[in-house]
Structure 1
Amino acid sequence: MKTTKKTTRHTAIQLRDDSRLRCSIVYGNVARFITGLMGKIALVDDGSLIGYHIVNGNRERAFLFRADESAGRQKISGIFPAVRLLVSTRSRFRAGKLLAFLNLCSESGLSLEAFPDDCFLRLNAMLEGRGCSESTMLKMMHECQS
């Protein structure tokens, strides 16, 4: 009888830190790093929740996605394969709001890994609105737990 070895699938995330382009992981756990042609590449396990931040000149974007090879539909520059995109910002202001929220979650000890994806879709909608504070976003996430 032949046994098959279960392998963990990974998502590759390009990290950069030069004068023109900065790409970094701002939330989530990295399984390991490898060396790539344009800098380090982070490998994250399938199913991991990842916050990714890109600064390209004056343009700034932030994403929150679940690395999931089987359900990934969205392509994000610097990430392979496609991922399940949960939150996406297109301005410096909204990216800053998302980064501050993720920082607040880390400081308060709130792990976002177990939250259902629907909560993050609500978070994305909140980020698109006006006057949304980090504490309001955190309160909404706590309500999702109940």
Structure 2
Amino acid sequence: MTEQLLNKEVIGQAIGRIPSGVFIITAQQGDQKIGMMGSWVAQAGFEPPCVSVAIHPDREIYKAIEESGHFSINVLSNENMNLMKAFSRYSPEQFNEVAHTVSESGIVLDEAVAVMHCKVVCKCDTTEHHLFIGEVIDAAYLNHEQAPMVHLRKSGFNY
């Protein structure tokens, strides 16, 4: 094994050890509701309160966020496997069997631990995934008894 390949393997293992949550990112494009399971979410500022989310430009939700300038982040727990299944792949019917509420601020998955509604303040497109930074303009702590899910990957080079 070459040193370069070994180094990439070690780098992937190290990056995969960065803990993250599991989230459903939601947005609207006109009347169409779009959701995506994601794990690359992080707090990005205190004042104003901001979060970041990384999304590949090929994802259905990407254009909706660009056009609307808004997205919501629904925080999942280990109890939310049904939500993970519903949003693991895009489908125009993905919201049909999922309890949700559409508000002026965004789309809330009723079973989520919490939700943050965000207004895009910045977009950075330096890698194959583009980073949206959103100011949190509204939020709700929905299911107090549930703890957020923590996710680790085997490698930082794949989901």
Which of the pair has the greater relative contact order for Cα pairs under 8 Å at 6+ separation? 2
**Higher helix proportion, which one?**
1
When normalised by structure 1's length, the TM-score is 0.28
When normalised by structure 2's length, the TM-score is 0.27
